[in-house]
Amino acid sequence: MNKKLKLCVCAGGIFVCYFYFGIVQERITRGTYQYGDIQEKFTYVLALVGFQCLVNTIYAALLNRFVLRTSEDNTSPYYYGAASLTYLMAMVFSNKALQWVNYPTQVVGKSCKPIPVMVLGVLLGAKQYPLRKYLFVLLIVVGVAMFMYRDSAPTVDTGAAGLGEVLLLLSLAMDGLTGALQERMKTEYKSSSGHMMYHMNLWGVMYLSVALVVTGELFGFIGFVQRHPHVAGELVSFSIASALGQYFIFMTISEFGPLPCSIITTTRKFFTVLGSVFLFGNSLSSRQWLGATAVFAGLVLDSVAGKAPPSAVAANGHKARQLH
């Protein structure tokens, strides 16, 4: 297979897998389910994240065994435990936010991930960044502010007004802590992305297994799936789509480097927003479109001019963290 065709296959795989992932995620978390005369919503976020962590663990184990063929890992389990906890909290907050905000808002809000990563990198890791990176991040901040600004007070669900945005901010804070911990692991133990993905998701499965039993959500989730069995198939398919998407990202970085992968994944987010607008009727104002454009422009500029290409293995771990 020639280079151009392989790049098209990789880009197509990323687009298809994560477009499908985003659409199914919104359908599960924002859909209304009918059971007899009763209408209900899917509120089992811990089970949703736990299922995704389980699939990611299996995928990472297979990837490490047959593709990456990684060497022995000596990273402290305390690092994996701490990073997994912040990683889980970021995913839970992000998915929980979808009960109050639509998917375009979540995607644009999560695009602010470079901000906490930079701040905590400076404060905890004594890192330095060039001026242009601060300018690109400022463009992202301005774009998000334009997108999130409310022209008028909401007329429904006033008690929960702003709760979705608060959850997105908490998710971003957890993303920043996860990034800082992963940087420490790479610095102190030379931890590979494959080992990180496997152990963090494995710890996540253990954490969430306990949380599901303690909170009683496991039994509520089982009852929900029994009432709406098609949800089980959607959970399986969207988790597999996420895992396959990560494989295409690894292949893209390995074959073409992190820059083309950054541009592809950023473009993918924009088209996922478009898909959500057209498929779910999430209409955006002119100001929100302008804000979204500023966010994605900042991300593309940062990808093109704001980074020095890291090694393929390190970049793979970095990009896997930037997806959700």
pLDDT in tens, 36-88: 888 999 999 999 999 999 998 999 898 888 877 777 889 999 999 999 999 99
- H/E stretch holding 48: helix 45-63
**pLDDT of 17 above 50:** yes
List the helix and strand counts (H, then E) for the chain: 13, 2
Q: Give me the chain's average pLDDT, please.
A: 80
Give the integer Cα–Cα distance in Å for 246 and 70. Answer: 17
- Supply the DSSP symbol for 306: S
Q: How far is CA 188 from CA 79, 194, 224, 284, 299, in A?
A: 11, 16, 44, 45, 29
φ and ψ of 254, to 5 deg? -65, -40
Pick from 24-28, 95-99, 189-193, 227-231 the range whose average pLDDT is largest: 227-231
Q: What is the pLDDT of residues 219-252, one digit of tens each?
A: 999 999 999 999 999 999 989 998 888 788 767 7
Report the sign of the C-alpha dihedral through residues 262, 267, 273, 275, in that order. negative
Q: Tell me: pLDDT of 314 over 80.
A: no
Residue 49 pLDDT: 94
Q: Tell me if residue 33 falls in helix, strand or coil.
A: strand
- Taking the whole predicted model, whether its pTM rises above 0.85 is answered as no
**Helix, coil or strand: residue 299:** helix
Q: Which residue has the higher pLDDT, 252 or 217?
A: 217
Q: Return the pLDDT at 19.
A: 85
Would you say residue 15 has pLDDT above 80?
Answer: yes
The pLDDT assigned to 323 comes to 43
Q: Are 92 and 176 in contact (CB under 8 A)?
A: no
